[in-house]
Amino acid sequence: MATTEELQTLVLTTLDQNQVIEDSKNIKFDGKPIDQLAFLGALNSLKSKDMVDYSPIELEFWTLTEEGEQVAKDGSHEARVFAAVPSGEQGIPIAELQARLGEAAKIGQGKAFKNKWISKKGANLVRLVDSIVDQTQKDLLEIKNTSTHKDAKLLAELKKRKLTDKYKTTSYKVTKGPAFSLEIKHEATEITYEMLQSGEWKNATFKKYNFDAVGVPPSGGHLHPLMKVRQEFREIFFEMGFSEMPTNCFAESSFWNFDALFQPQQHPARDAHDTFFLKDPANTDRFPRDLMAKIKVTHENGGDTGSIGYNYKWKEEDAGKLILRTHTTAVSSYMLYQLAEKTKREGVFNPAKYFSIDRVFRNESVDATHLAEFHQIEGVIADKNLTLGDLIGFMDVFFKKMGMDKIRFKPTYNPYTEPSMEIFSYHEGLKQWVEIGNSGMFRPEMLLPLGLPPDVRVIAWGLGLERPTMVKYGISNIRDLLGHKVNIAMIKDYPVCRLDKKMGKELVGLSE
Ligand SMILES: N[C@@H](Cc1ccccc1)C(=O)O
């Protein structure tokens, strides 16, 4: 095969002699036709130097398939069938025709019947006409000779019958360009130190800038992996009819984070070892006074909830301490209070389904599996007559949507739920059950002070967002998810899409 340089020389000398190359298809190198793709490469490089101009010639042509060639030579199957049937009353037994023509007999018979060339007479085939015109053979011969046919429909039909094939070729018409010359000058792409020193730059020809070249697309505007996986979970919730809770404020009062959740004020989780307390401002009294009064008595002696409470002196100043929320359940308690208020205003209770996926904070030492700030996925359903069975059933559907079909529950304790259940999923890789979340039915000591009707039950659950994200991105150290550790390469090709089945199976561990 000719090299690019050889092809370039060929183009230039031909143009020098003939002014134009009408069709590169007719150009030969070493007596052989040239490869048009290689030719295009040579043309482009000459064109970039303005030495030539060219335009493509696109040609569509038809050829016969192997079977088409056969038919063009021996006639169509139907014509061969006709030829095999002798004239006269007698005809030919079908079995004999088959033996003589083989496969062609079967295919040709139907067409010959349709064309009314032959018919059946008992077990024999007889001629209906004296002579026939084998149009298919004629058509194929025409295609063979001219590479096309005026009847486009016929061409399509013959292609369907696998007798013809369509091909496309591209060749080029080439003319001289403004900088035509027989000699190809070397073009420098940059001025070098050596060129300056030797003075060579004075005579050098420089390659022109290509201002039409497409630049490298800037890579920016990618979501952090956590935000991408969050988007997938959000879609599951929306699909199931949930609305999103407003969780955009990280600072929260102990009141909504703990007290409203029937978490006693001396609970160890409220310690500075577990919770980040705000310094300035350190306190708030911006929570509803009448609700506060009810929560106070419920903690102290159960109030009118039927409980005996925790039997201690509840202090407003503890409830007023500002913290970074330790769980998004702080927002759930606030939302349920809003729901209760709305129910009172409107006089009717409407069931509600809420979710949130947002950041929470715990005063923990950071290691490979723990961060001091992480994200929780939280779901809450409020309706009349809900039972633990509903919670279990709902969990099954919810986790199935995430690709996890083996789910188990284990009783546990939360101050605000009873019964409470840890959620476990079977990990195929580890071959064991791993904890993925926590759940339960909110206690009457939490719901009644909020003002929800006594027959309203609330089921809720929470799980971590970091773990599924780590599994999905193959990250083994949770610290690699911290903002400054995430690089563009890691996230750029990662589409926002539904959680796949594999990941669901791998999803392990609540980030706690
Ligand atoms: N708030 C709990 C999760 C949870 C939510 C709702 C009900 C029960 C449990 C946690 O921090 O892990």
Q: What confidence score (pLDDT) does residue 225 get?
A: 82
What CATH code is carried by the domain that includes residue 104?
1.10.10
Task: Report if residue 107 sits inside a domain.
Answer: yes
Atom of ligand 1 nearest to the CA of 360: 11
* Residue 329 alpha carbon to ligand 1 centre in Å: 6
| Ligand 1 touching residue 425 (CB < 6 A) | no
242 and 95 in a common domain: no
Apex 491 CA angle, 487 and 497, nearest 5: 165
118 and 237 in a common domain: no
| Ligand 1 touching residue 356 (CB < 6 A) | no
Distances (CA, A) of 103 to 74, 134, 159, 160, 162: 14, 19, 20, 19, 16
* Residue 328 alpha carbon to ligand 1 centre in Å: 8
Q: What confidence score (pLDDT) does residue 328 get?
A: 96
| Ligand 1 touching residue 414 (CB < 6 A) | yes
| Ligand 1 touching residue 464 (CB < 6 A) | no
Of 90, 115, 133, which marks where a domain is finished? Answer: 133
What CATH code is carried by the domain that includes residue 431?
3.30.930.10
Quick: pLDDT tens for 472-507.
676 777 888 876 677 666 666 554 444 444 444 444
Distances (CA, A) of 114 to 78, 95, 102, 160, 195: 10, 20, 20, 19, 82
| Ligand 1 touching residue 257 (CB < 6 A) | no
Which residue owns the Cα nearest ligand 1 atom 11? 327
Q: What confidence score (pLDDT) does residue 315 get?
A: 97
Cβ neighbours of residue 87 closer than 8 Å, sequence gap 6 or more: 127, 130
Q: What is the ipTM of this complex?
A: 0.97
247 and 100 in a common domain: no
207 neighbors 224 (Cβ within 8 angstroms): no
Q: What confidence score (pLDDT) does residue 432 get?
A: 79
Quick: pLDDT tens for 200-223.
999 888 888 888 888 887 766 677
* Residue 94 alpha carbon to ligand 1 centre in Å: 83
Which residue owns the Cα nearest ligand 1 atom 6? 461
Please list the ranges in the chain whose pLDDT falls under 50.
495-512
Task: Report if residue 216 sits inside a domain.
Answer: no
Q: How many domains does the chain have?
A: 2
* Residue 415 alpha carbon to ligand 1 centre in Å: 10
Which residue owns the Cα nearest ligand 1 atom 2? 462
Task: Report if residue 330 sits inside a domain.
Answer: yes
The sign of the torsion formed by the CA atoms of 121, 103, 64, 160 equals: positive
* Residue 438 alpha carbon to ligand 1 centre in Å: 5
Of 67, 101, 133, which marks where a domain is finished? Answer: 133
Task: Report if residue 27 sits inside a domain.
Answer: no
| Ligand 1 touching residue 263 (CB < 6 A) | no
Q: What confidence score (pLDDT) does residue 503 get?
A: 46
Task: Report if residue 433 sits inside a domain.
Answer: yes
For 21, the enclosing helix (H) or strand (E) is strand 20-21
Distances (CA, A) of 334 to 29, 317, 397: 84, 19, 26
Task: Report if residue 183 sits inside a domain.
Answer: no
Atom of ligand 1 nearest to the CA of 512: 12
* Domain that includes residue 106, residue range: 77-133
Q: What confidence score (pLDDT) does residue 209 get?
A: 83
241 and 121 in a common domain: no
| Ligand 1 touching residue 375 (CB < 6 A) | no
Atom of ligand 1 nearest to the CA of 510: 12
140 neighbors 157 (Cβ within 8 angstroms): no
112 and 258 in a common domain: no
Q: Which of 374, 422, 438 to mutate to test the pocket of ligand 1 (most atoms within 8 A of CB)?
A: 438
Of 69, 103, 133, which marks where a domain is finished? Answer: 133
245 and 127 in a common domain: no
